[in-house]
Chain A
């Protein structure tokens, strides 16, 4: 029972941290209709920025939390510059140009990271407040991972709140439905795009910073996360927030169950689920059917 609880919590914390990154990817696609290949690289850069900030500020006295905030802000600013100066010119073009552009960002940012931080594996320690294990009734579980679960749930509720209960959220939803008319009604749609792209990148950066103590920073980690994010949104439905949430939770549980019962099949199970969704429900569990 204890082992099952730990496996469940492993899957949950993994899934919820994955959601942080996949949510940004899904929102950016929903609004801008751009599939951002560089989203995983934003996540990786967020981790490295947090590493840099922690190595300067130290972990104690809230240094870790400042580092997380700095990651979010740096990624938001970088994404704003990218959107304003480059991506904006590609919306009217064929999708292939957008894909090539975001792929170029992957190569560019990865090289910058290699240049600045080298290729060796780096890591951040857990913040002092969240070290150790917590009694969760049936087992002891690492505090930091429990904290990641809370962040994932809080971000999901936060995004839902912004989308459903604020004017900004309503404007973003309207932009996904008819951007031309929204512009003709006086809303500065290019600015909405800028903010959404920037906010999505900030989520990726924060996700990377928060993941840094739980895993190692190394070049190539962006490819792993972006593949999983794509699987999340394929399973959940592109552009659907709750789809991304359910997709991420499913993948988290599937991986931890797989690791327990059939370790050599762990990642295969995830791909099998994706294939099953593509065969029986190609638009995703919560996605909208094309043309419906």
Chain B
């Protein structure tokens, strides 16, 4: 699937990756690129391979074929902690906070001396609610707070690229709006973002372009302008 040309240098290049869970193939030759500072969205219904694409890039479910190039280096098959240290921050779906660690401990546990870029203060600036909850256990937060904490925790690793997997999942409409604001702030900070998301409003508000996935392949690539001009171009993929 051809990619749109962009002005910014390309940071992430996903080249025809095929990923399996056991014997069943989930991704079939998925390819796309992310330029520096861009937000690229993966859209599609549940089970089309969005999360698997994220997990493949993060090194949790490495692809069997294809390559993942990050800032010119082949990172395919590296252990996940090395991929993270190279600057790719994975924010999992389902808010996997460490439930028995406090908010502060959740952040502290991933801090590394060389990651001076993000400090707790700077994170609490963007997520002020978390500052008040810093001594509360992760497992005792509301869904929205846990979602903020998962993002904040990944930021502590000073990523250049964020893999955001379904950040709006299970959030009330108001919380989704706030989430859009926060992600927009991160974009403004210069972070590149891959956003796997079902909430069309969120995707349209944030992304440069979106890849529509279906049964493990990218079926179409659209810009928010194209979708706004003719929403059926997106909905016919999502309504099937």
Contact = CB atoms under 8 A, between A and B. Distances in A.
A278 B55 CA distance: 40
Interface in B76-115: 79-81, 83-85, 89-90, 92, 96, 98-101, 105-106, 108-112
B112 A186 contact: yes
Interface residues of B, number: 28
B59 interface: yes
B81 A184 contact: yes
Given A173-B100, A178-B98, A189-B81, A184 B105 contact: no
A280 B79 CA distance: 43
A184 B90 contact: yes
Contacts of A170: 101, 105, 108-109
A183 interface: yes
A177 B109 CA distance: 12
A62 B108 CA distance: 40
A184 B98 CA distance: 13
Given A184-B59, A184-B92, A185-B153, A177 B110 contact: no
Contacts of A264: none
Contacts of B100: 173, 177
Contacts of B58: 184
B101 A183 contact: no
A171 B5 CA distance: 42
Nearest to A191: B81
Contacts of A178: 96, 98
Contacts of B83: 184
Nearest to B153: A185
Contacts, number: 67
A184 B101 contact: no
A181 B157 CA distance: 13
A185 B101 contact: no
A184 B108 contact: no
B84 A186 contact: yes
A60 interface: no
A78 to B, nearest CB: 25
Interface majority SS (helix, strand, loop, mixed), chain A: helix
Contacts of B154: 185
Contacts of B156: 185
Nearest to B111: A167
A174 interface: yes
Given A184-B59, A186-B157, A189-B81, A174 B92 contact: no
Given A180-B60, A184-B92, A185-B110, A173 B80 contact: no
Which of A173, A185, A187, A188 neighbours the largest number of chain B CB atoms within 10 Å of its CB? A185
B199 to A, nearest CB: 23
A186 B109 contact: no
Nearest to B156: A185
A177 to B, nearest CB: 5
Contacts of A105: none
A77 interface: no
Contacts of A174: 98, 101, 105-106, 109
A178 to B, nearest CB: 5
Contacts of A181: 92, 96
A184 to B, nearest CB: 5
B101 A186 contact: no
A183 B109 contact: no
Nearest to B102: A170
Nearest to A185: B110
A87 interface: no
Interface in A152-192: 167, 170-171, 173-174, 177-178, 180-190
15 contacts: A170-B105, A173-B98, A173-B100, A178-B98, A180-B60, A182-B98, A183-B84, A184-B80, A184-B84, A185-B81, A185-B90, A186-B85, A187-B110, A188-B79, A188-B81
Given A170-B105, A183-B60, 17 more contacts: A171-B109, A173-B100, A174-B106, A174-B109, A180-B80, A181-B96, A183-B79, A183-B80, A183-B81, A183-B84, A184-B90, A184-B92, A185-B89, A185-B110, A186-B81, A186-B84, A190-B79
Interface of A: 167, 170-171, 173-174, 177-178, 180-190
